[in-house]
Structure 1
Amino acid sequence: MTFTPKPWPRKLRSQDWFGGSRRDAIYYRGWMKNQGLPHHLFDGRPVIAILNTWSELTPCNAHLRDLAERVKHGIYEAGGFPVEVPVLSVSESAMRPTAMMFRNLAAMGVEEQMRSQPIDGAVLLVGCDKTTPSLLMAAASTDLPSIVVSGGPMLNGYFAGERVGSGTHLWKFSEAVKAGNMSAGEFEMAESSMSRSPGSCNTMGTASTMASMAEALGMALSGNAAIPAVDSRRRMIAHMSGMRIVEMVKQDMKPSDIMTRDAFKNAIRTNAAIGGSTNAVIHLLAIAGRVGVDLTLDDWDAWGRDVPTIVNLMPSGKYLMEEFFYAGGLPVVIKTLGEAGLLERDALTVSGLTAWEQVTEVVNYNDDVIRPVDKALTASGGIAVVKGNLAPNGAVLKPSAATPELMVHRGRAVVFEDIDDYHARIGDEDLDIDETCVMVLKNCGPKGYPGLAEVGNMGLPPKVLRKGITDMVRISDARMSGTAYGTVVLHTAPEAAAGGPLAVVRNGDMIELDVPNRRLHLDISEAELAARLSAWTNPIETPAGGYARLFHEHVQGADTGADFDFLRGCRGAPIPKDSH
C-alpha cells in the first residue's frame, strides 16, 4: 500500500500542553523542569513516551530499564523528546489467578495514559507475553504513532547435555517425574538451567510468538522478534526504534495505517509458519477489534490452514530462539512466505517499507532451523478451528504440537467440573480412565476461572503415563501455555460458565474429534442436548466487586478475543480539556 506523510513541521498534540507563554503552558513546563530539563526540549519537537513494562516481578521484563535508555538515545538523536512512563506489567509467571485476567486492565490503563498525557508517539517496550498484546491494544485504541520494541528471548537452557526449553521442558520433566522416569531431585537440579539469562521464554511460546506477531503485523522493525535479550544487537534495535518513532510522528504514521486486514493476514500465516502459540488467536482477535479490522476465527482457519510450519523450534520442533536468530530469524520466514505466494507483499510496516521490501536480501543460515517449504515440519500448519455441537462458536487446536494419530479420534469422556476437581482426582489410581478416553475440563474460560487460565494442557494420569503414553485428547474452555504441546482442544466457545454445551458433558459421553474435517461432536441427540442445557444451572458466582466483577460482567468470549465489550473499536486520542 502507499502511505502519504503529512506535511512537517506542524503543531503536535503535546504543544497543547507545552506550547506558548500562557499560564497553563508555564505550569506544565515548570513542573517538568524540576527534572533538570532545558527549555528548548519544549520547542515543538515530538514528545515520545517510552511505555515501559519493566518490573522485577515480571522476570521476562526485568532488563527493560537498560533497554529504555537505548531507546532514549535514539529519540534524542532523531530530534525527539523522550519520557519514560511506567505502565502495568502483566507477569505470566507470577500473577494469580492468571495473567490473562489482567491483560484488559493493562490495555485500559495504558490507553488512558496515552490519551490523557502530552505525548505525540509511543515506544511500546514489552516482553512477557501479555505485555505485548496489552500495549498493542492500547495503541490501536488511541491510534497514536507507535512502535514495538521487544525485550528478546533468553539464552538456551542446558541440562544433562540436553537443550532445555523454558516451559516446554517444565511440562516434560514434570510428566517424567510422575511416570517414574526422573527423580524429584533431578527435577530440582534442572530448575536453574531453565532460565539462565535475562529475557522471555526461549521456546516458540507466547512471548516469542507475540514478538513475532508484532513484527509480522508491521509494528516492529524487521528482525526485532528473535534477537536474544543479552545480545548487543538488541540494544542497537532499541536505539534504531527510538530514531524511527520520531520520524513516524513527523509523518503521522499511525497503527491504523499499518495494522490493516492484509497485515493480520500476514501475521496469521506467519504464526502458522513458526508453529506459534494458540494464545496468538485470542490476542490478534482483540487487537483487530480495537483497530477496527473485522477478524474472525474462520479467518484464522482459512488463512493459516495451508501454510507449512517451517520453523523447527520447541514445542513443535527441537531448537530454541537462539538458533532461530542465528539462522536469520523472522525476516527469513517472511521472505519464504513471500516466495511461496503466502505474503501480502505490499503491507506497510513501521520502517516505511513494505513487508516484502525489507526482507528481499535476507539469508537463511541454517535450513534445519528454518526449513524449506518442501521439508516442513507440518505441511499444513496453522491453528485448526473445529466446530460442532460441542463448540458452536469454535475451538482451536495446534496441529504442529499434536499427535498425528489423535487428530481423528472417538473416545469416552472423563469429565472434570473445574480445575480443583481435576487436581483432586487426576492422581487417583481408581479413576476410570485410559489412553483412549477424552479428558474434558469445564469452567476455565474467561468467566469461569476467572480469566481464561493456562490449564488446558492437563497433565495425564500417572497410571497412563507409566504405560509410556505421552498424549491424549484433551478438551476445555481454557488456554494452554504457548510452550506446551499435545492434542489439546482449547478456547471452546461458548464457555461452560456462559452456558455453552461444554457445561453439560457427562462422564461416559462419546466425543468425536476430526481435525481434518474441522469437527468436534458430542455424540448425543439434539433433544438430549437441549434438555441438559435447559436443566443447567451456573455454578460460577458473580464476584462481589472490584476489577473481578468488572471483568466478569464485561468480558467477551475467547472466540472474539476475550476483550471487554466497551473497549472494542478505536476511540482515538483527542486532547483532553484543560483542568487548570
Structure 2
Amino acid sequence: MSDTPQDSRRRYSAPVVDGVNKSAGRAMLRAVGFTDDDFRKPQVGIASTWSQVTPCNSHIDELAEVACQGADQAGGKGVIFNTITISDGIANGTEGMKYSLVSREVIADSIETVAACEGFDGLVAIGGCDKNMPGCLMGMARLNRPSVFVYGGTILPGDGHTDIVSVFEAVGAHAKGELSLIEVKQIEETAIPGPGACGGMYTANTMASAIEALGMSLPGSSAQNAVSNDKRADCAAAGAAVLELLAQDIKPSDIMTRAAFENAITLVIALGGSTNAVLHLIAMANTVGVALTLEDFTRLGKGVPVLADLRPSGHYMMSELVAIGGIQPLMKTLLEAGLLHGECLTVTGQTLADNLAGVAPYAAGQDIIRPLDNPIKPESHLRILYGNLAPEGAVAKITGKEGTRFAGTARVFGSEEEAQARILDGTVVAGDVLVIRYEGPRGGPGMREMLSPTSAIMGRGLGNDVALITDGRFSGGSHGFVVGHITPEAFDGGPLALVQDGDPIVIDAVADRIELQVDDQELERRRRAWQQPPPRYRRGVLAKYARTVSSASTGAVTDLPDTD
C-alpha cells in the first residue's frame, strides 16, 4: 500500500496495516468491516465501558456507535472495543467493593493494551461511572496519542427527588424505626429511573466536571443528561475532534499540564465535589508525569470558595444544574475572577479561555450556584489533615454544616461490616469517633468506600453527633464528619493501627489536624506489641493489587516509576 498525505496521522496504524507483509492483518480486519479505503485512514479506537452491570453504563454501547460514526464521517476509521466496569452502588458494603478501585487500574491497563496492540492512532473513551473516568484518562495518558474523553451523562432524579443515596439512607432510617419496609421498598423501586451516573455531585459527576476543566472533554460534556440529544451530539463531535487533534498533533501530555490540573482542582472545590477527586487527580497526574500532591489541594483550597448547592451536602442534583447551563457559566465566573488558568490548551485545539469566551452567565433567580461574594463556604471543603494519626496526610470533606471541629472517643472496628452492624443495632452513640481500619489500598485490599456506614449514620440521625475516620475512602455520596485516606494505612503499621476503644480523638478542620490524644510513650508501647495481620488475599487480582499498589497519598496507583 502506498504512502498518502494522511500518513503523518497514521503513526501507529500504518505499521500494522501497510505493506504486503501485513496482508494477514488486513485479512483479519476485512472480516470486521474494513475496506481498501479504510486502510488508508487514521484509526480511532472507541473505548466503550458499556455493561448491563450498572445503569451508569447501560446506554454507552449506543453512545460508542455514535462516536464511531463521528470519527468515520470526519475521515477516520472508528474501531469500537470494550473495557470493564463495576458498580459501586451495588457492591458497597460487601466484599465485592474491594474490587472497585482495582477496576480503575484494570481499565487503564486494558485501554493501553488494546490501543497499543492494535495500533490505534487516536482514542475516544466513554465512561459513565466513578472508576471508568480516571481509568480512561490514565490509559490515554500512558499512550499519549490524540484523545478525547466523553462522559456518559447523569441520571434523572427518581420520584420525590430521590437518588441512590436516598436508598442507602432509607436503610438507616428503617433501623431507627422511621421508615417501614414498605416505604424502603417504594424508595428502592423509584430512586433509579433509568440510565446514567448517580445524580448528585458524587464521584462520577465530580470527575466528569474535573476532566472537562482539565481540557480533556469537549465543552459541556460533563453536564448533560445520559439520555439526551445533547449527549449523542457530544459523542459524534468527540469522534470528529480526534481527527483534528491528529492533524494538529495535540496529545494528552500537551493538555494535562500542572496548570490544567490546578483548573480541575479549583472546579472540584467550587462544586463541592467528592473526596475521591483527590485520589484520582493525583493518580492521573502521576500517570502523565505531573507531580501533583496533597499540598496542592491545600494551597488552592485557601483561595477557592464552595459555590454549588449540590448533593450530598446540598439540595440540588446534577440534572438541575444541567437545566440552568451546566458548569460552563461557573467556569467563566472562576476564570474572570482569576481562579482558572485560561491559557491551558484543550481538546478543541483552543484554550480554555477561547472555549469560554461566548458563554453566557446563569439566568437571574437560580440558586444552585452561588455568586462569589456569597459562597456556601469561603474556602475549600476538601481538607488535608495531618497529625499523629495521619503523619502522611488524610482527606476530609467538611462543608461546614457538620461543624469544623469534632472531639470524641474512639470506637474501633477492623472492617466496614463490623462498623455497619454496630451502627444499625444502636451500639454506636453520640460522641463516638468510629475508627474503621485495615481498609486501605493494601490492607483491604482495595480501599473500599464507606457509603453504607456513613448513610446508616445519617439515616439514624447521628450525622452531627458521630465522626468516622478510616484508611479506606468515601463515596461521593457520603456526608457528615468523615475523614478518609489516612496514611500510612493501618496494614503498614500506621498510627491508626494503634488506636484503642475509648481513646480521645480530636479532628480540627480549621487547623487541619487529626490527633490521637494518647502520650508518645503509650503509643510506642502499643507499636512494639503490634503485629501486621496476614494478607486477606494470597492469590488473584486483589493479592496482585496489594503487592503493587502505592499509598493513597500518591493516588493508590500500581505503575509508579522505578526510582532506583
How does the TM-score come out when normalised to structure 2? 0.93
**d(CA) in 1 for partners of 2:208 and 2:54?**
16
Match of residue 306, structure 1, among 303, 307, 310: 303
| Larger CA deviation: 232-241 vs 29-38 | 29-38
- Say whether residues 1:121 and 2:116 are aligned partners: no
**d(CA) in 2 for partners of 1:65 and 1:102?**
19
Q: Deviations over 1:10-40 (max 9, x none)?
A: 25210001123x22x2111111111332211
- Say whether residues 1:476 and 2:470 are aligned partners: yes
- With over 3 angstroms needed to count, the CA separation of the structure-2 counterparts of 1:480 and 1:461, relative to structure 1, is closer
- With over 3 angstroms needed to count, the CA separation of the structure-2 counterparts of 1:63 and 1:287, relative to structure 1, is same
Q: How does 1:230-269 map to 2 (within 5 A)?
A: 230-269=227-266
| Larger CA deviation: 102-111 vs 291-300 | 102-111
Q: Deviations over 1:251-271 (max 9, x none)?
A: 111110000000110000110
**d(CA) in 2 for partners of 1:74 and 1:456?**
38
Q: Which residue of 2 aligns with 1:572?
A: none
Match of residue 89, structure 1, among 85, 89, 94: 85
Q: Which amino acid counterpart does residue 91 of structure 1 have in structure 2?
A: S
**d(CA) in 2 for partners of 1:465 and 1:546?**
36
Please state whether the residue corresponding to 1:426 is helix, strand or coil. helix
| Larger CA deviation: 106-115 vs 150-159 | 106-115
Q: Deviations over 1:97-147 (max 9, x none)?
A: 331122212212221222211200000111111111111111111111111
**d(CA) in 2 for partners of 1:496 and 1:450?**
12
- Say whether residues 1:223 and 2:224 are aligned partners: no
Q: Which residue of 1 aligns with 2:173?
A: 176
1:403 deviates by 3.5
Q: Deviations over 1:447-489 (max 9, x none)?
A: 2222000126734888x97677655211111111101211101
Please state whether the residue corresponding to 1:373 is helix, strand or coil. coil
Please state whether the residue corresponding to 2:273 is helix, strand or coil. coil
1:428 deviates by 4.5
- Say whether residues 1:214 and 2:211 are aligned partners: yes
Q: Is the 8 A contact 1:324 1:369 kept in 2?
A: yes
- With over 3 angstroms needed to count, the CA separation of the structure-2 counterparts of 1:319 and 1:17, relative to structure 1, is same
Match of residue 346, structure 1, among 343, 348, 358: 343
- Say whether residues 1:332 and 2:329 are aligned partners: yes
Q: Which residue of 2 aligns with 1:381?
A: 380
Q: Which amino acid counterpart does residue 376 of structure 1 have in structure 2?
A: P
Q: Deviations over 1:419-466 (max 9, x none)?
A: 23324433445x4x531221111111112222000126734888x976
Q: Which residue of 2 aligns with 1:76?
A: 72
Q: Which residue of 2 aligns with 1:557?
A: 551
Q: Is the 8 A contact 2:266 2:301 kept in 1?
A: yes
Q: Is the 8 A contact 2:173 2:456 kept in 1?
A: no
Match of residue 316, structure 2, among 306, 316, 319: 319
Q: Which amino acid counterpart does residue 137 of structure 2 have in structure 1?
A: L
**d(CA) in 1 for partners of 2:33 and 2:222?**
35
Q: Which amino acid counterpart does residue 130 of structure 1 have in structure 2?
A: K
Q: Is the 8 A contact 1:307 1:382 kept in 2?
A: no
1:506 deviates by 0.5
Q: Is the 8 A contact 1:297 1:394 kept in 2?
A: yes
Q: Is the 8 A contact 1:290 1:568 kept in 2?
A: no
**d(CA) in 2 for partners of 1:393 and 1:248?**
40
**d(CA) in 1 for partners of 2:129 and 2:456?**
30
Q: Which residue of 1 aligns with 2:139?
A: 138
Q: Which residue of 2 aligns with 1:577?
A: none
Please state whether the residue corresponding to 1:140 is helix, strand or coil. helix
**d(CA) in 2 for partners of 1:17 and 1:513?**
57
**d(CA) in 2 for partners of 1:343 and 1:447?**
36
**d(CA) in 2 for partners of 1:496 and 1:458?**
19
- With over 3 angstroms needed to count, the CA separation of the structure-2 counterparts of 1:415 and 1:281, relative to structure 1, is same
Q: Which residue of 2 aligns with 1:17?
A: 16
Q: How does 1:403-552 map to 2 (within 5 A)?
A: 403-405=401-403, 407-429=404-426, 431=427, 433-455=428-450, 458-459=453-454, 470-541=464-535, 543-552=537-546
**d(CA) in 1 for partners of 2:149 and 2:224?**
14
Q: Is the 8 A contact 1:278 1:396 kept in 2?
A: yes
Match of residue 166, structure 1, among 160, 164, 168: 164
Q: How does 1:49-68 map to 2 (within 5 A)?
A: 49-68=45-64
Q: Which runs of 5+ in 2 are unaligned?
A: none
Please state whether the residue corresponding to 2:216 is helix, strand or coil. coil
- With over 3 angstroms needed to count, the CA separation of the structure-2 counterparts of 1:516 and 1:468, relative to structure 1, is closer
Q: Is the 8 A contact 1:319 1:369 kept in 2?
A: yes
| Larger CA deviation: 384-393 vs 544-553 | 544-553
| Larger CA deviation: 11-20 vs 322-331 | 11-20
Equivalent pairs, count: 550
1:299 deviates by 0.7
* RMSD over equivalenced CA pairs, Å: 2.0
- With over 3 angstroms needed to count, the CA separation of the structure-2 counterparts of 1:413 and 1:460, relative to structure 1, is farther
Q: Is the 8 A contact 1:91 1:130 kept in 2?
A: no
Please state whether the residue corresponding to 1:449 is helix, strand or coil. coil
Q: Is the 8 A contact 1:306 1:382 kept in 2?
A: no
1:552 deviates by 1.1
Q: Which residue of 2 aligns with 1:205?
A: 202
- With over 3 angstroms needed to count, the CA separation of the structure-2 counterparts of 1:75 and 1:437, relative to structure 1, is same
- With over 3 angstroms needed to count, the CA separation of the structure-2 counterparts of 1:211 and 1:427, relative to structure 1, is closer
Q: What is the identity percentage for the equivalent residue pairs of Structure 1 and Structure 2?
A: 37
**d(CA) in 2 for partners of 1:424 and 1:183?**
19
**d(CA) in 1 for partners of 2:417 and 2:130?**
25
